[in-house]
Structures are given as C-alpha cells and as structure tokens.
C-alpha cells in the first residue's frame, strides 16, 4: 500500500481517537465510514496536491463529529433540587455531612442526629424542616419519603400554582394544597397535622382530607384518630426553631410582622389603621437573617421607637 494511503488512514484513526469515548459502532457502519473517508481522500489528493491534508482532515473530522453526535448517549447535567438553609451535624446514608448553603439532589437521603434538626429550601419556595432523629429520602423536588421521624413543610401560596408537595410514609401519602403541615412516622404510625390550608392523605383503603387545625393519626391497624391542634400549639415549636431567617433587604416592618405571625401561628393585630399604615411605610434596619421570629420583632421595634408591641400565646399586637 502506498505511503499516501497510509497517511490518510493514519489521519482518520488519529481523529477517531481524539473524538474520545463513544458508544460502540456497528461493524458494517464502521467499514462504510472508513471506505468513504479513503475514497474522498483519494479524490482530494489526486485533484490538488496543495490540499493534501486539509481535505481529508476536514472530511474525517465531520464524519467523526456525526458519529459522536449520532451514537453517543446524551450527557445531561444533574441539577440540584434544593439548598440547605439550616443544618447542624447532618449526614446522608453515605456519611456525607451537610452545612448551610450546600445543595441537595433527587435521591439524596438525609438523616439528622438525636439532638439537632435541619432546614432545606426545596424548589426555591418550599421550606422543609426535618426534626432531630429523622431520616428522609428526596425523591424529587415535590416528593419526599419519610423513612422515620418527623418533618414540617411550608409550601406558601403554591395553592395558586397548581403544584403540590407529597410526603410518603409506610401508611400512605400526604399531599398538601398550599399549606403548612407536619407529618410524623414512628413505629408504623403516621400522624398528619395541618396548620394552614389542606392536606389530602391517601392510604390503600381510603382518602381523607385534613383541614387547618386537624390532626389525624393513622394506627398500624388502619384506624384513624382525629383531634384538634392550634396554630400556636407548643407542638410546632421545633419547626419554628428551624425557620429560615427573614431577609429584610428592602422590606418593611409590616412584612416582617406578617412573616413572624405566620411562622409562630399567632394572629397579627394593630391598635388602629394608622399604626398598620405606619408599619407598612417603615423600612427595616440591620440584618435579621439569624434571628428567630420573636427576636426579629424585638430588634425591629427597638429600632423604631414610635411603635410598641405585645406578644402572648395567641397574638402579636402592635401599638403606637
């Protein structure tokens, strides 16, 4: 075989090697590709010596790219579904530890120790709080499996966007309709408590709806117990402690008070409309992202002496 033919075959081989790993090419297709490359190379070199390298290189490169694009499996990036907002001594099933700011992915299993919980911001708008001694698996941004323990979710105004959050347990699946709610799964028993909105719970036998103030307990034998729980009940306290901080940049005092009232389950009251309007027009001063709801209220009111406040079990009252 001539040196000219050897050069052409070497060029094709080199370019195929540079193309990198790819799916296996059927033998008959590979033979046809090599035959076409050799034929085109001979035609190019016989018509014009000056393009001895350019023509076969360009042609072979085009064929290599076509093969790579046509046969190589697409490589899609794995996108995170959430961010850790609050964390202390949390790990997954592989021993990976988490800290605030870390991202989580579908398929991640998160487990808290017996002394600390964690908070996760899912899909940009769901505040998920995981109690101490809890293990969950993130199936996707809007579906969670509670393996054991307790979680709390605040999906805000998702009721207006036709999107829901589902929590699976060994007894069934709880699906929220724009709400704040908690789900626990301990020793085969599932409990769903609704603070705001509505939650539909589907088991193998029935579908039950829980409204704000309802707390439903599914026994291992399938029986359901129903009682009531107030929005400010102490049983919500662990979830309040894991609330993401309030970002007060370009926010008003009224916005802070509404956030604090919603997080704590208290009613927000003003002594009159003038006080409410004044709170709406008052800008906040100083960072508050690391403060609890009650601490944030105290900090804001101290910085604006024209207001007074009173907090009790059920309400937050603002006066002048």
Residue range 43-82, pLDDT digits in tens: 555 544 444 444 454 444 444 444 444 555 555 568 889 9
> Residue 59: is it exposed, middle or buried by C-beta count within 10 angstroms (0-12/13-18/19+)?
buried
Q: What is the per-residue pLDDT for 76?
A: 56
Q: Name residues of the chain where pLDDT drops below 50.
A: 1-5, 15, 22-23, 29, 33, 37, 41, 47-55, 57-69
Q: How many CB atoms lie within 10 A of CB 161?
A: 11
Going by C-beta distance under 8 Å and a sequence separation of 6 or more, which residues neighbour residue 3? none
List pLDDT tens digits, range 151-181.
999 987 555 556 688 999 988 899 988 789 9
Q: How many CB atoms lie within 10 A of CB 113?
A: 14
Contact 192, 175 (CB under 8 A): no
82-237 placed in CATH 2.60.120.1440: yes
Taking the C-alpha atoms of residue 80 and residue 230, their distance in angstroms, rounded to an integer, is 35
CATH for 245-319, options being 3.55.50.30, 3.30.750.210, 3.40.50.410, 3.40.109.10 = 3.55.50.30
Each domain of the chain, given as residue ranges in start order, spans 3-71, 82-237, 245-319
Contact 316, 271 (CB under 8 A): no
Taking the C-alpha atoms of residue 167 and residue 192, their distance in angstroms, rounded to an integer, is 10
At how many degrees (to 10) do helices 27-47 and 54-71 cross?
160
Q: What is the per-residue pLDDT for 218?
A: 83
Provide DSSP, 54-83.
HHHHHHHHHHHHHHHHHHSPP-PPPPP-EE
């Amino acid at each position: 075989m001539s040196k000219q033919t050897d050069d052409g075959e070497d060029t094709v081989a080199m370019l195929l090697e540079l193309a990198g790993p790819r799916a296996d090419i059927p033998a008959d297709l590979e033979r046809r590709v090599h035959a076409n490359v050799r034929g085109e190379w001979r035609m190019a070199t016989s018509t014009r010596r000056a393009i001895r390298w350019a023509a076969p290189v360009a042609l072979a490169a085009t064929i290599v790219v076509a093969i790579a694009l046509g046969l190589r499996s697409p490589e899609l990036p794995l996108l995170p579904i959430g961010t850790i907002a609050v964390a202390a001594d949390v790990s997954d099933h592989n021993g990976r530890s988490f800290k605030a700011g870390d991202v989580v992915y579908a398929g991640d299993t998160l487990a808290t120790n017996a002394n600390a919980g964690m908070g996760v911001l899912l899909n940009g708008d769901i505040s998920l709080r995981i109690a101490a001694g809890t293990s969950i698996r993130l199936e996707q941004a809007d579906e969670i499996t509670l393996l054991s323990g307790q979680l709390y979710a605040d999906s805000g105004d998702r009721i207006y966007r036709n999107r829901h959050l589902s929590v699976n347990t060994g007894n069934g699946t709880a699906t929220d309709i724009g709400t704040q709610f908690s789900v626990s799964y301990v020793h085969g028993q599932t409990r769903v408590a609704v603070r705001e909105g509505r939650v539909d719970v589907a088991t193998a036998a029935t579908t039950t709806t829980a409204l704000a103030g309802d707390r439903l307990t599914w026994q291992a034998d399938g029986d359901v117990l129903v009682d009531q729980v107030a929005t400010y009940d102490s049983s919500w306290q662990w979830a309040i402690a894991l609330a993401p901080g309030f970002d007060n940049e370009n926010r008003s005092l009224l916005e802070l008070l509404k956030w604090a009232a919603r997080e704590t389950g208290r009613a927000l009251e003003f002594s009159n409309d003038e006080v409410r309007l004044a709170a709406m027009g008052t800008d906040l001063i100083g960072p508050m992202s690391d403060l609890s709801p009650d601490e944030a209220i105290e900090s804001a009111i101290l910085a604006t002496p024209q207001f007074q406040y009173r907090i009790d079990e059920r309400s937050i009252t603002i006066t002048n």
